[in-house]
Amino acid sequence: MLRKTAFSLAFIAAAALHWTIAPASAEERFIVVQSTTSTANSGLLDAILPKFKDKTGIDVRVVAVGTGQAIKNATNGDGDVLFVHAKSAEEKFVADGWGVKRRDVMYNDFVIVGPKGDPAGIKGMDEATEALKKIAEAGAPFASRGDDSGTHKKELSLWKAADVDVAHASGDWYRETGSGMGATLNTAAGMGAYALTDRATWISFKNKSELAILAEGDDRLFNQYGVILVNPEKHAAVKADEGNAFIDWLTGPEGQQAIADYKLEGQQLFFPNADKATN
């Protein structure tokens, strides 16, 4: 009887060990993607990632931060894939050996939003630098992300092209939030300020208040997104097979169609272009 009881206990213990190990093994089928706030806040990733998991069984865990921080995180090996929108910084990431080949994924554009009263008088303008000059000349409040994100990098390049020294204006009419796009738009809405935002975040943003799109359509406002595998030769923990599976899906027919199909309020937020060019 004692031997039978001992056997039963051993069997139960072995069964319990099996069931505790099995789920842990299954959970290993995931990757970490360092991405931007716009891909997350717009709802795009929530819409398309389940389709990838259904096809491959690979879960995607997203860290949504500004592009600059995402690149730093990926450089530190805190992720398998980088999916951001600052092409020159992405190319440097690859050139420095931290990433393996950059591929175009999709695009949209940036817009300049501001109070409907438009104290700087930029409504209807399609030259971004001229619109920013007028904002600076009027001393009208401008809310900047100030966080080294892709949007912030674009904004600074536009101020430079407009020959406006925003560092000198910091704390005056130029206000840096150090926050993501949604929080910066909330700040703009609260203080009646202008801001640069990607169109996808603007469409999905609920607290528009008295804000409206005032300047758009400049070629300088083009917003390209790219995807890169973090280099496994730099970080051995990188899941290269799973990461490449995600990149191939994202830039392949199914992923590109999923991106094209995602709409809010009847508007397409991102436009797939992986088949147009690769780097």
User: What pLDDT, in 10s, does the model give residues 228-258?
Assistant: 999 999 999 999 999 999 999 999 999 999 9
Name the 3-class secondary structure at 78.
coil
Q: What mean pLDDT is predicted for residues 254-275?
A: 96
What pLDDT is attached to residue 275? 79
pTM of the model: 0.85
Burial class (CB in 10 A: 0-12, 13-18, 19+), 97: exposed
Same fold, 30-108+224-272 and 109-221: yes
30-108+224-272 maps to which CATH number? 3.40.190.10
Helical H segments across 103-239, by residue range: 128-138, 150-161, 166-169, 181-191, 199-204
Domain 109-221 matching CATH 3.40.190.10: the answer reads yes
| CA 111 – CA 217 distance, rounded (Å) | 8
| CA 275 – CA 104 distance, rounded (Å) | 8
The candidate with the shortest Cα–Cα distance to 222, out of 141, 157, 142, 135, is 157
Domain locations in the chain?
Answer: 30-108+224-272, 109-221
162 pLDDT higher than 80: yes
What pLDDT is attached to residue 85? 96
